[in-house]
Amino acid sequence: MANSTTFLPVAAYNHIEGKTIVASNTIDFSKEPTASGGTVDVLRIPKGAFVKRAGLVVHTTEATVTIAVGDSAKGTQFLAAQTLTALKANAAAADGGAMSVDAAQKFYGAENALRLTIGGAQVNTAIVTAFVEYFIVPKSRAV
């Protein structure tokens, strides 16, 4: 299954060393339905970043679809597969979300991306926001 980078925005990395960054990206899967087993890169993680936590907020749910939050090395680095309807039961329910625990923290010696892994069924209409909180370790980005 191919990995999609359609939703991956350009990130500016200048002058962010030592500052906490919270980046988010809202993904509307109606623009690019993704098959079960497919992956989607949604946020850049810069070289030298120490990720403190990551997560997912569900705005529009879809039955039987699960989404895990990780990176290119481990699809569940931050969150094991979350069933969208468990986070937001239906259209009338309030948005729901899940966030990683401290044990999932990770340092990145090279650029990577926050990756969503789809499971359960093809995702066609769900709308989710993925987020990551990190800081850049000073000197780790030196050439």
CA–CA separation, 60 vs 110, rounded Å?
33
The percent of residues in the chain predicted with pLDDT above 70, rounded, is 88
What domains, with CATH codes, occur in the chain?
Answer: 3-8+21-136 (2.60.120)
Q: How far apart are the first and last CA of the chain?
A: 34
Query: What is the model's pLDDT at position 100?
Result: 94
Q: Write out pLDDT tens, residues 61-98.
A: 999 999 999 999 999 999 999 999 999 999 899 999 99
pTM score, two decimals?
0.86
Query: What is the model's pLDDT at position 3?
Result: 83
Query: What is the model's pLDDT at position 106?
Result: 96
